[in-house]
Copies of this chain bind each other. A is one copy, B any other.
């Protein structure tokens, strides 16, 4: 099933087939001919061979998304779906590279193997990786270290958490950090928002503790917060929040009366934790389509870098605060 077959079947030349199937602008092809070609193509079940197209055009229509193994929950899924759909609308195809350590190495190899034109990450790629990626054939890599922050700025979520606690009357805030080092980058960003919120409210910066997913260890952290008279905890995410909740339970305390905790991400189990977890949710769907637009703009030379896309986190009130 090649383009020539279609040309033959439609009684036109190969070029014409290419023109109409790619909807090449600046060509005035009679609707009559156009229709014949389209009809022949679909009748024959013609699918252009991606490799040939990429080779000839000098660039593929593959967008590679580097997905770190992070528990971002359903939000990230929606983001990916929306991104894929929006990209597809522009003729681009999204595939993902799942890696525990989203460093360089395997990513650039995959990039070369799939002949990706664009590589997208959730957090900025270090300059070293960016160069590696370009060497592997990527035309555009976003986000990069230099030009901007993460795909979407997550300080907002730390800020919303702290603001909520503060509005509820808490004056001494704690921040529960994850213990997994890969999460630290993202955690610091979220923490920053909480720090700012406290500063704006004239409060001390949150007292941080790293939390392990283990009730006994979480209990220790809770105790330390208590001795510093912390009454409200912002957790990096819902997993950590649930661990903190386990910690307060293990120390014989109860949330929210003794200590309030607010999570982030609104994972499915947040609603069924004990007590039900108050958390902040955010919708990444719009980020997905905005990202896609940015990619298209850069690819077409209409833009240099992808803009930062704000998110608007919203607290989901349940009973842990």
Contact = CB atoms under 8 A, between A and B. Distances in A.
B272 A213 contact: yes
Contacts of A243: 269, 272
A61 B95 CA distance: 15
A50 interface: yes
A221 B3 CA distance: 59
A114 B80 CA distance: 17
B88 A106 contact: yes
B51 A60 contact: yes
B98 A97 contact: no
A50 B97 CA distance: 17
Contacts of A112: 47, 50
25 contacts: A45-B135, A47-B135, A49-B137, A50-B51, A50-B54, A50-B114, A50-B115, A50-B137, A51-B55, A61-B113, A62-B114, A67-B96, A81-B100, A88-B106, A88-B109, A93-B110, A95-B110, A95-B114, A96-B97, A114-B114, A213-B269, A214-B272, A218-B272, A246-B274, A274-B274
Interface string A256-274: 0000000000001101111
Task: Give the number of times this chain occurs in the complex, counting copies.
Answer: 2
A64 interface: yes
Interface residues of A, number: 56
A276 interface: yes
Given A47-B135, A93-B114, A245-B272, 7 more contacts: A51-B54, A67-B98, A95-B114, A96-B98, A214-B271, A215-B272, A245-B274
Interface in A12-44: none
A96 B99 contact: no
